[in-house]
Amino acid sequence: MIRAIVTDIEGTTSDIQFVHSVLFPYARQHLAAFVREKHADEDVAAALNAVRDEAGTPQATLDQLITTLMGYIDEDRKSPGLKALQGMIWRAGYVDGQFTGHLYPDVLPAFERWQQQGISLYVYSSGSIAAQKLLFGYSDEGDLTSLFSGYFDTGVGAKRETQSYRTIAEKIGHAPGSLLFLSDIHQELDAAAEAGWHTVQLIRGEADNASRHHQVNDFSQIKPESI
Ligand SMILES: CSCCC(=O)C(=O)COP(=O)(O)O
Ligand SMILES: [Mg+2]
């Protein structure tokens, strides 16, 4: 019996194009000014130091860090420091109403159905927890944050690492066999399955012939009561 569902965001609840054509360009446009203006703030300084560590450049100047971060955006690197900074930068865009968090239309009805079935809902994304709360807090369908019992980012580990799913199961407090992970990326689902989780792969675009996971095209096809 499924007790909790953990969902990925990009490519699963939300269009990859929204992330790559709206969120990433917004962060790129505002990154340099944000870093120069806010670099002494505690959370910004911590994120910049994380980038220095990741890049192996402990003495990097702000200008050098900005160049490094631009490169990380271009290569869609799941850098925890970049993800933390993006979350802080996106806040202004959401709050000013420049964009709302994209959700596929099948997502909210499924979340509501699963919640009525007594299933707890969680998010696990490479985007920072702050960024996750913004996307669902300022979503196309309004503020959905009350639907979720918790959020996980790469603070628990990378999404392709089996240990990350063991850690999440421990934190949620349910046996892995009662957990379902939803993602568009089969390597993430491989890691969850290795940890004993159930998995469903969202195919929002092209088929994934290399996957061994149950595949669906939208959330209406996911029936946790039948798993
Ligand atoms: C949390 S919204 C921003 C999406 C993002 O930055 C990202 O890296 C998405 O990764 P995901 O793990 O949700 O595929
Ligand atoms: Mg994804």
- Between the two ends of the chain, the Cα-to-Cα distance in Å is 7
Atom of ligand 1 nearest to the CA of 9: 13
The string of pLDDT tens digits covering residues 162-176 is: 999 999 999 999 999
The domain boundary residue, chosen from 70, 95, 120: 95
DSSP helix/strand/coil, 104: coil
pLDDT along the chain (227 residues), means of 10: 98 97 96 97 97 98 97 93 96 97 98 98 96 98 98 97 98 98 98 98 95 98 96
List pLDDT tens digits, range 39-61: 999 999 999 999 999 999 999 99
Q: Whose C-alpha lies nearest to ligand 1, atom 10?
A: 126
CB atoms within 10 A of CB 72: 20
| Ligand located closest to 19 CA | 1
What is the span of the domain harbouring residue 73?
19-95
Q: Is the CB of 126 under 6 A from ligand 1?
A: yes
Q: Are residues 108 and 211 in the same domain?
A: yes
- Is the interface score ipTM higher than 0.90? yes
Reading the block at residue 72, the tokens are 């990380």
Of 95, 130, 149, which residue is a domain's last? 95
| Ligand number nearest to the C-alpha of 78 | 1
For ligand 1, atom 4, the nearest C-alpha belongs to 127
Distance 86 CA to ligand 1 centre (A): 10
Q: Tokens representing 133?
A: 């709360």
For residue 100, give Cα distances in angstroms to 28, 128, 201. Answer: 18, 17, 25
* 122: enclosing H helix or E strand: strand 120-124
Kindly give the number of the ligand 1 atom that is closest to the alpha carbon of 132: 1
* CA-86 nearest atom, ligand 1: 6
The CATH number of the domain where 222 resides is what? 3.40.50.1000
Q: Are residues 34 and 9 in the same domain?
A: no
pTM for the full predicted model: 0.94
- The amino acid at residue 112 is E
The count of domains in the chain is 2
Task: Tell me the CA–centroid distance for residue 195 and ligand 2, in Å.
Answer: 19
Alpha-carbon distances, residue 176 vs 53, 153, 179, 180 (angstroms): 33, 18, 5, 8
Q: Is the dihedral of CA 158, 164, 168, 171 positive or negative?
A: negative
Measured in Å, residue 62 CA sits from the centre of ligand 2 at: 30
